[in-house]
Structure 1
């Protein structure tokens, strides 16, 4: 399986694509396309990888992924229902200079920033979710107007987050992309267990030294750092969604040593696993009451 260019086919009556993606699991598929992608998760949990970012996703996760930015969504083990609303469009779908007009310059800047920073992530409130869900029921002209209105609203938000894309090489050769995809898919399937550099290098058909240089050059960090991000992302998900003890979570995420798990978690999240779980509980109490 290779990290490949994906051709997006819009229906004849539309210049862009909107679809409901519903399936038991989202399997890792590292891909890119010239279209911007606005994706709203409505059901399911897992890990999203956009550029060099590795984070959790869950219902309400809304991301605007930049043009030609590699990305993949992989659902959590054991999940049986994943659903997302996916909108894909080219910058010029309303005309080459449309988003350069003063009235829509904010949207144009948002698109530029999303491509430069890999993606922009928003917190989808009930109104945004409803607007995204209603898109498919509209006629082509109404649907396009609704999408434009949604983009204008998102561009005007003050609360959004840019994902870090530093260090990612977007201009990888087809061979290099294939190696990156094979390695990332291998790590996605095995990050909760023991990972040996020798075995991963073999997946890329490279020596250990050459592979280490290649991985860092391609993804902007070492393989060890990447695996740590996968493990901590999974751990933070379990801290919020399960009643497992912290030591059990450490074990399920590939850590045989609790102190090492605590150190890695704090390095990425800025707080201990216990503090992180407590903060999530407090947020949920505020939402409930």
Structure 2
């Protein structure tokens, strides 16, 4: 995993001098309130005790804790505990968003609701402030995403640095959102049957190259059984589901960042521009460029 900086406050230097990106990355300190920000605490290692919504709660790596704009739990006890925290204004995801808007509007119009989907978990009382267990792969991915956010926001190598920094946040939130079945707040045991964990495998690797045979080998099963179980879980073939995940992430990055389309294409697992455009048009009725022009929110 990439190291998380001691503290990162992202202010433009050569590109967009003076512009401050409302993302704060630092070891968790409940005294740092960051008003109006949502928070994500990555329990990177160790164990400890925090003040939960209903009293002390044990935390242990690998886990993540989602915080709304007001929750800042105290750390009661540490045992080699490492907590990396990311705080961000919801407007980083969509310029229309404020904590008040998201709390008072249960359903937003059009693509705004697709963006709000990434943030709704931060407002669920049964989730906020409680440790959510992570798989080893998702734990690693979150650590890498936090490291990349810190690296991109600090290096500022070109004019795309704000969008690229935000894009790692968007991808991380998407990973957490689609991993919803694996986020077990009460430490419920995950089925030992690997066929029941095919979604976990796919969610963690959706933007990498793998085949149905790879999933079957991981499950210790065969192609037929994997496809049957996957259709039972999702109503789709494995290939259809993976394409859908890739295109949903691509849609978010096109809509909510200014990253070059070629960069987004690679980030979601495509190497051929013609294939990406053809697949995207079949799903959305638009090319990626047209999708960006018609769905991007006003600045």
* Structure 2 length-normalised TM: 0.42
* Structure 1 length-normalised TM: 0.43
